[in-house]
Structure 1
Amino acid sequence: MNKRKNLLLALLLAGTGAFAQQNYSAKGKKAVVYTTAENTDLRIQKTDELTFSSSKQPLETEFSIFVDPSKSFQSILGIGGAITDSSAEVFAKLSPAKQKEFLDAYYSKDKGIAYSIIRTNIHSCDFSSGSYTYIKEGDTALKSFNIDHDKKYRLPLIKEALKLSGKNTTVFVSPWSPPAFMKDSKNMLKGGKLLPEFYQAWANYYVKFIQAYEKEGIHIWGLSVQNEPMATQTWESCIYTAEEERDFLKNYLGPTVRKELGDKKIVVWDHNRDLMNQRADVIFNDPEASKYAWGIGFHWYETWAGGKPMFDNVRKVAEAYPDKNIMFTEGCVEKFDAARYQYWPNGERYGEQMINDFNNGTTGWTDWNILLDEKGGPNHVGNFCFAPVHADTKTGELIYTPSYYYIGHFSKFVAPQAKRVSSAASRSQLQTVSFVNTDGKMATVVMNNSDAQITYNLIIGTEKLVATIPAHGIQTLVY
């Protein structure tokens, strides 16, 4: 009888990682510290190995980080970036040696930062060399549909990335605009709306695209309904009010995807934090629409209006709709300037955004272009931006920006299916977030945006270690 009880208890413990973490002890454990910092050569470099020892009540005068592994929150889908036409076209210009270096830098666990999410565009977006679709103009029946355009640059790069990143990689797709004939403006660029008579044809188009990519051996995890549905851009764009997106999802896209593709995940909104709460309310409070929505995606560009990032809106959606998932689907540093390749605040922007987004309930985090050229493109409307890595197509060299390393402090150490756990700082100079991976290893990210080096305690229950972080530095502690 006792053997049966012990076996049952062992099975219960094995199947509940969160429960097992309630017994986590840092006593005697070692933590490896990896550091990146401004005005140093440190770039995700091992800088220390520290041992936990007994902790007493920390003082008000000390800097402390408090981690409680027994309090776990959302599971992490992954961290990655977008493979656009532009990224793929620039990649194709690199030498074979530089292509290998680049792929390792992003997708290798050992040599790089272990990206595990890929986003890509359904036909053209601004980061394409020109506008195009997969059909002949006016082909409502989609008989001419083919993805030959993507076979030259984009598909080969995605396939190479997937070889390195492995089976846990999440690939999702987003459209920027329906074909011109399906819109009231008869133009893929500068906004316009999808005409109701083409709702079904456009829903079928997503299905055709996903089926074509899967025929190429690329498993598609899911899709977003529309990139930035409230922005009339100079490039490919299409406007949906919350009610229009709800009804398109409920009556056309959701049923069509479910019938033809099964359980693909559908992400709504895919735009800035400013209006995400209203979009969530309209779609998630409609049971028929909500049943097709895996969750909501958001971008970080709400600061265009002159305000600060609206991190609290992410938390408010998480609180209001705990059964829905939240995913960061795009962000980049705008307005490319080659003189600012190594501008440190660009990296710190990533660190601050990722810490806040994860602490507020985000499950997946997706950067924009993984690679751009020395002009911040190609971009067919001149919307040149930064990427974490640039290629100088004149010299053939790769340029790694601070953003690459800041993202890497998360993506390299936080694997898919990790769980966020409770983590807090005692002083505003430090920001922090912590995760437990499926192998039981903890990863705590600490960021110091101040001008001074800071010594801090990392405290778990009755155990602590003492670490030092440079000014304008970021660390990941693995223990």
Structure 2
Amino acid sequence: MKIIKYTLGVLLFSVTAFAQSQNEKKPAKIKIYTTAENTTLKLTQTDDVFFSKGKQPLEIETSIVVEPKKTFQTFLGIGGAITDASAEVFAKLPKDKQKEFLNAYYSKENGIGYSLLRTTIHSSDFSSESYTYIKEGDKDLKSFSIAHDQKYKIPLIKQAIKTAGGKLTTYASPWSPPAFMKNTNNMLQGGSLLPEFYQAWANYYAKFIKAYEKEGMPIWGLTIQNEPMAKQTWESNIYTAGQERDFLKNYLGPTLKKEGLADKNIVIWDHNRDLMYERANTILSDPDAAQYVWGTGFHWYENWSGGEQMFDNVRKVYEAYPDKKILFTEGCVEKFDANKYQFWPNAERYGKAMINDFNNGTVGWTDWNILLDQNGGPNHVGNFCFAPIHADTNSGKLIYTPSYFYIGHFSKFIHADAKRISSAVSRSNIISTSFLNTDGSLVTIVMNDSDQDVAYSLMVATDKAEVIIPAHAIQTLIY
């Protein structure tokens, strides 16, 4: 009997101890992915670290403080543009390289999971030639046809959508109306849409959307005009803020509504951060125009004048018009030079812009050409630029630049409908942004553009983890 009592006592003790151990919270694990200069690290899972009970951080330390309970904008997606140039280069690749390329961008498992897609309404500079969808002078649009796009662009868009799992948030942008609709009778070198063609041009957008959707490519939205304040050597068209407002509220908005396309999201501005606040004020302060606006689009080329990128202007629009969205619609590294495929500051330009733009309220981020050739084109006016991936059309080789991996640190890990959450860095030697995915996972992206490794603490509530980021590196932390 004594033996039985002893055994029962041990059993009761063991059950109690097991229950207590199950109730004890295990330290949360952080998965870390790193890309770093002068290493083999490219979106590589480099370490697992664990949270422990944190102490009050000191001013001499570098800390990232995250507060998941404070949420901001809802994440739309990240992607790039399928231009004529991208599609023409893609068509020259061997089949195995085409498959590799598609997976690299659009596969969630084997690539970086792009979910946004921008394309052009007829030609841009990144086309082999200027073209439209109608015969010149056809103001009634009776000759409208997207046959030109059936050769290269549409097949690539369809393959991208398929690789992405059947859905890509797709929007379109025009560079210029047909020449006869403009006061210069020229698609290039700026000029402006003549008032007598406002309605015909609005009808053109509707025809484009319906033609693409008939081909099985849903159009989420459109921007009114690519870079409406730039007189370029290529396709370009100028709208003052007042002209864009009036075209939208009197023609484009009502026309899309009349054509059963009121659900399409209209994006204004689609130009640099410098004047985005002025453009937003002019259009969004007019209720008749604002009713048609989903949000404001912007580019990153305002440093053409020698100044810095004006990230604060994004925040000012976000604060002034919180009921409207903000979307980065284009950015690329200009002045192609094949000797700079692996030039690390190009990638850091992406990391810095993406972190700052998201922290200032941006919901989505769209790179420019997804693919260019070994010359930075084709481009019919010689405006050769970089893309995250290039193809040598002579050898069929794909060239991945560091920018591809930097973008991937965001696009691969932040999921649709994630919320940006409050976070702050205690010192200026790193920058960071954080998101809460709908599955409950937290994502913190950290960038170090200095020449030194940086030790920092990730702090969430009372939990703290110690991390080191290499010099000239970007990390994604999942926890």
Please give the secondary structure, in 2, of the residue aligned with 1:47.
strand
Distance 1:113 1:461 in 2: 30
> Are 2:287 and 1:287 equivalent residues in the alignment?
yes
Matched residue, 1:255:
254
Q: Cα offset for 1:469?
A: 0.6
Tell whether the 8 Å contact from 2:226 to 2:270 is kept in structure 1 after alignment.
yes
* Equivalent residue runs for 1:70-89 within 5 Å: 70-89=69-88
* Equivalent residue runs for 1:183-332 within 5 Å: 183-260=182-259, 261-332=261-332
Matched residue, 1:378:
378
Tell whether the 8 Å contact from 1:27 to 1:54 is kept in structure 2 after alignment.
no
Tell whether the 8 Å contact from 1:214 to 1:220 is kept in structure 2 after alignment.
yes
Distance 2:117 2:457 in 1: 36
* 2:212 partner amino acid: Y
Please give the secondary structure, in 2, of the residue aligned with 1:245.
helix
Matched residue, 1:51:
50
RMSD: 0.8
Distance 1:185 1:252 in 2: 21
Tell whether the 8 Å contact from 2:161 to 2:167 is kept in structure 1 after alignment.
no
Mean Cα displacement is larger for which, 274-283 or 52-61? 52-61
Tell whether the 8 Å contact from 1:27 to 1:53 is kept in structure 2 after alignment.
no
Please give the secondary structure, in 2, of the residue aligned with 1:210.
helix
| Superposed CA offset, 1:375-397 (max 9, x none) | 00000000000000000111110
Matched residue, 1:409:
409
Matched residue, 1:365:
365
Q: Cα offset for 1:169?
A: 2.1
Q: Cα offset for 1:58?
A: 1.0
Please give the secondary structure, in 2, of the residue aligned with 1:368.
strand
Tell whether the 8 Å contact from 1:388 to 1:400 is kept in structure 2 after alignment.
yes
Please give the secondary structure, in 1, of the residue aligned with 2:213.
helix
* 1:253 partner amino acid: L
Q: Cα offset for 1:166?
A: 3.0
Tell whether the 8 Å contact from 1:168 to 1:416 is kept in structure 2 after alignment.
no
> Are 2:175 and 1:176 equivalent residues in the alignment?
yes
> Are 2:473 and 1:473 equivalent residues in the alignment?
yes
Distance 2:355 2:173 in 1: 25
Matched residue, 1:12:
none
| Superposed CA offset, 1:110-146 (max 9, x none) | 1110000000000000000000000001111111001
Matched residue, 2:430:
430
Matched residue, 2:90:
91
Distance 1:378 1:359 in 2: 34
Please give the secondary structure, in 2, of the residue aligned with 1:31.
strand
Matched residue, 1:42:
41
Distance 1:91 1:168 in 2: 20
Q: Cα offset for 1:51?
A: 1.2
The alpha-carbon distance between structure 1 residues 27 and 334, as it changes in their structure 2 partners (threshold 3 A), is: farther
Q: Cα offset for 1:334?
A: 0.3
| Superposed CA offset, 1:384-418 (max 9, x none) | 00000000111110000010000000000011111
Tell whether the 8 Å contact from 1:258 to 1:264 is kept in structure 2 after alignment.
no
Distance 2:133 2:427 in 1: 53
| Superposed CA offset, 1:254-288 (max 9, x none) | 11112211210000000000000110010000000
| Superposed CA offset, 1:13-61 (max 9, x none) | xxxxxxxxxxxxx972111000000000000000001111110101112
* 1:71 partner amino acid: K
* 1:345 partner amino acid: P
Q: Cα offset for 1:346?
A: 0.2
| Superposed CA offset, 1:408-453 (max 9, x none) | 0000001111110011111101100000111111110000111111
Q: Cα offset for 1:297?
A: 0.2
Matched residue, 2:5:
none
* 1:357 partner amino acid: D
Distance 2:233 2:386 in 1: 18
Alignment TM-score, normalising by the size of structure 2: 0.94
Q: Cα offset for 1:167?
A: 4.7
Identity of matched residues, %: 70
Matched residue, 1:65:
64
Mean Cα displacement is larger for which, 450-459 or 240-249? 450-459
Please give the secondary structure, in 2, of the residue aligned with 1:274.
coil
Matched residue, 1:349:
349
* 2:337 partner amino acid: D
Please give the secondary structure, in 1, of the residue aligned with 2:346.
helix
| Superposed CA offset, 1:70-103 (max 9, x none) | 0000001100000000000000000000000000
* 2:303 partner amino acid: T
Tell whether the 8 Å contact from 2:33 to 2:45 is kept in structure 1 after alignment.
yes
Tell whether the 8 Å contact from 1:27 to 1:52 is kept in structure 2 after alignment.
no
Matched residue, 2:447:
447
What stretches of structure 1 move > 6 A for 4+ residues in a row? none
Distance 2:354 2:242 in 1: 30
Tell whether the 8 Å contact from 1:182 to 1:195 is kept in structure 2 after alignment.
yes
Matched residue, 1:104:
103
* 1:124 partner amino acid: S
Tell whether the 8 Å contact from 2:423 to 2:434 is kept in structure 1 after alignment.
yes
Matched residue, 1:149:
148
Matched residue, 1:162:
161
Name structure 1 gaps, 5 residues minimum. 1-25
* Equivalent residue runs for 1:9-20 within 5 Å: none
| Superposed CA offset, 1:337-364 (max 9, x none) | 0000000000000000000000000001
Please give the secondary structure, in 1, of the residue aligned with 2:275.
helix
Tell whether the 8 Å contact from 1:27 to 1:463 is kept in structure 2 after alignment.
no
Number of aligned pairs?
A: 454
* 1:184 partner amino acid: N
